[in-house]
């Protein structure tokens, strides 16, 4: 038994020596691979940085729309029969919308619809050209919101005020210059 213990001790000792040699010895292949890996990571990082710089230097969609609106304003200034759709108030611009007739969401009972006529009040920074360009989008948003409402939602004062706020936030989400300050109902009928 003593001999077996000596043999095991020699094996353990030789295993420790070989592991120490491997840990302290330099493997040139591992060093080369580590260096190549570090260079590749640096190159990838540099390329990503260059790509982000290129993306940030391109104009955003807001910048493009603003420049197109400014160009459109300059072109139409010489036209004497330019139709003014907006009426300038003390604290904003008023833009009347054509009337809406929209089906309401199906509730209990017969199909119902709403007839709505409204005037949008825009901030003074708003541009008439932007409103004209966005009018189909504004009408679509209002119709979609009305289609999602049930008659019970719109019959009380709180429901009508909530509808105003919902329409305001939906329109302001895509306007570039200015924003909707308020909405005035000039006609509101549920049938």
Give the DSSP letter string of the chain.
Answer: -HHHHHHHHHHHHHHHHHHHHHHHS--HHHHHHHHHHHHHHHHHHHHHHHHHHHHHHSPPHHHHHHHHHHHHHHHHTT-TTPPP--EE-SS-EEEE---EEEEPPP-SSS--EEEEEEEEEE-TT--HHHHHHHHHHHHHHHHHHHHT--HHHHSSHHHHHHHHHHHHHHHHTT-SSS-EEEEEEEEEEE-
CA distance 141 to 5: 87
- Distance (Å, whole) CA 151 – CA 190: 7
Express each pLDDT in 75-91 by its tens digit.
444 443 333 344 555 57
State the pLDDT at residue 83: 38
CA 14 to chain centroid, in Å, comes to 66
Domain layout of the chain by residue ranges: 2-57, 87-190
The whole-number pLDDT of residue 9 equals: 60
Query: Which tens digits make up the pLDDT trace of 140-182?
Result: 999 999 988 888 888 889 989 999 999 999 998 888 887 889 9
Is pTM beyond 0.75? Reply is: no
Topology adopted by domain 87-190:
Tetrahydropterin Synthase; Chain A (3.30.479)
Q: What is the pLDDT of residues 108-121, one digit of tens each?
A: 678 888 899 999 98
pLDDT band at 2 (very low <50, low <70, confident <90, very high): low
């Amino acid at each position: 038994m003593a001999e077996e213990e000596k043999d095991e001790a020699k094996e353990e000792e030789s295993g420790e020596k070989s592991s120490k040699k491997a840990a302290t010895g330099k493997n040139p292949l591992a060093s080369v691979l580590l260096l190549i890996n570090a260079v590749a990571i640096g190159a990838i990082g540099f390329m990503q940085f260059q790509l982000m710089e290129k993306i940030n230097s391109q104009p955003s969609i807001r910048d493009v729309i603003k420049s197109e609106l400014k160009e459109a304003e300059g072109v139409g200034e010489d036209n004497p029969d330019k139709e003014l759709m907006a009426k300038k108030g003390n604290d904003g611009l008023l833009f009347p919308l054509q009337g809406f007739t929209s089906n309401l969401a199906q509730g209990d009972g017969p199909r119902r619809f709403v007839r709505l006529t409204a005037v949008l009040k825009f901030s003074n920074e708003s541009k008439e050209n932007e409103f004209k360009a966005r009018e189909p989008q504004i009408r679509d948003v209002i119709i979609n919101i009305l289609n999602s409402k049930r008659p019970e939602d719109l019959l009380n004062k709180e429901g009508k005020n909530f509808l105003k706020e919902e329409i305001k936030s939906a329109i302001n989400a895509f306007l570039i210059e200015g924003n909707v300050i308020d909405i005035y109902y000039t006609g509101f009928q549920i049938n």
